[in-house]
Amino acid sequence: MKINFVFLISLSIFFSNDSFSHHSNAPHYDRDKPISIIGIVEEFDFVNPHSFLYIRSDLNGESVVWECEMQTANTLIKQGWTANQFEVGQQVIVNAIAARRDPLGCSFTNAEMPDGSIINRSGSIETPEEIAFNYDREILINNKPNFKGPWKRDLANRGMGLGPGSQRPQVDRLTDKGLIAAESYDERFDDPSFQCSASSISRVWSEPGTVTDIIQTEEFIHIIHEYMDTTRVVILTEDHQPSYIDRPYGHSIGWYEGNTLVIDTIGFEGGVLTPHPGVMHSNQLHMIERLHLNDDGMSFVVSWVAEDPLYFKTPFEGTRHFIPSAYDIEPYGCIPEIAKR
């Protein structure tokens, strides 16, 4: 069965305003300290995992340069931005949130441009542009649900589970060893994204503004997440092997149950399940993901359950919703020197 859809995507609402950062802003920026900077564009770094806008302005009679963190270049490209969005020497008024530790650091909120237009952190530009595209796909391939192609988070359906800004789980969720591991983690400095790592399977499914591409064969499922250039292989033709060497994203096998792809993953290195609020996992982590294709073939829900008998008393669970993307996946190309800022 084949189904045809035409999608209209307004660039001004492609993502919601509060959904962009690949890590929580709270440890680094103080939302109770908004600032406005009137100055001249010194430089615009259009890169991943953050773009940065540098503004030269006068502060108490001294010429200084502010460094304002922005969204990832890959996210902003999908909003119609280019590397020339800000021109050196251009006068702007930047509204931002002050950094907690850097007296000249800030998190970009919006910019008032010389022509009176406003560019928001969400990437929206004054005049929305709509992209129309036809999406023509089979619901089934060889009697299996068709997950092939590029997908993006459906932010109209927020899903559930821990994410940026969540509070650390209650004591009764973690074992003594899990609590000790959590206490050793400082989200201001230990976020895996600072080393250009996606952190975990649940984290990489959660990144808004990026594309996930799925390649589907009879023997393998290749899941390619744009975020941090994360690639996973799900083997459909064998069981777990006893000789696995632990890896950051483990070893995955899978099978179909009706319209659902089930992924079973073990063999993890110890690491970070969620960078914010900072939940650690051991090498005993076991994850089950279920990708359920909806009846129209035009969306799917991924749900996961994470169990770790060494660190968790009870499992951690989450869901995310996905719809087709008008954009193909692009290299993320995280730059460690910028990620650590």
Q: Is the pLDDT of residue 230 over 90?
A: yes
Q: Is the pLDDT of residue 124 over 90?
A: no
- 73 φ, ψ (degrees, to nearest 5): -60, -40
CA distances from 107 to 12, 27, 271 (A): 20, 12, 28
What pLDDT is attached to residue 165?
Answer: 54
- In terms of Cβ atoms closer than 10 Å to its own Cβ (0-12, 13-18, 19+), residue 295 is exposed
Give domain limits for the chain.
Answer: 11-120, 139-339
Q: Is the pLDDT of residue 10 over 50?
A: no
271-296: average pLDDT: 94
Strand partners, 99: 29
Give 305-326 as a DSSP string. EEE-TTTBSS-EEEEEEEEE-S
Contact 197, 49 (CB under 8 A): no
What pLDDT is attached to residue 3?
Answer: 43
pTM for the complete prediction? 0.76
Helix (H) or strand (E) holding 178, with range, is helix 176-183
Q: Express each pLDDT in 153-193 by its tens digit.
A: 998 887 887 655 566 666 689 999 999 999 999 888 898 98
**CATH 2.40.50.140 fits domain 11-120:** yes
Contact 275, 187 (CB under 8 A): yes
State the Cα–Cα distance between residues 213 and 322, nearest whole angstrom.
Answer: 11
Q: Express each pLDDT in 315-340 by its tens digit.
A: 999 999 999 998 899 999 988 877 66
Contact 250, 155 (CB under 8 A): no
Q: Express each pLDDT in 89-107 by its tens digit.
A: 999 999 999 998 899 999 9
Joined together, the tokens standing for residue 262 give 């089930």
What pLDDT is attached to residue 135?
Answer: 59
Q: Residue with structure tokens 């959590």?
A: 182
Confidence of residue 72 (pLDDT cuts 50, 70, 90): confident
Q: What b/e string do you get for 144-180 counting C-beta neighbours within 10 Å, with b at 16 or more?
A: ebbbebbbbbbbeeebebbbbeeebbeeebbeeebbe
CATH number corresponding to 139-339 = 2.40.128.20
194-223: average pLDDT: 93
Write down the mean pLDDT value for the chain. Answer: 85
Amino acid (1-letter code) at residue 173: R
Report the chain's C-alpha Rg in angstroms: 21
What pLDDT is attached to residue 118?
Answer: 85
27-33: average pLDDT: 85
Q: Express each pLDDT in 257-278 by its tens digit.
A: 999 999 999 999 999 998 887 8
Is 139-339 in the same CATH topology as 11-120? no
Least reliable range by pLDDT among 6-10, 142-146, 287-291, 302-306 = 6-10
Joined together, the tokens standing for residue 101 give 């530790």
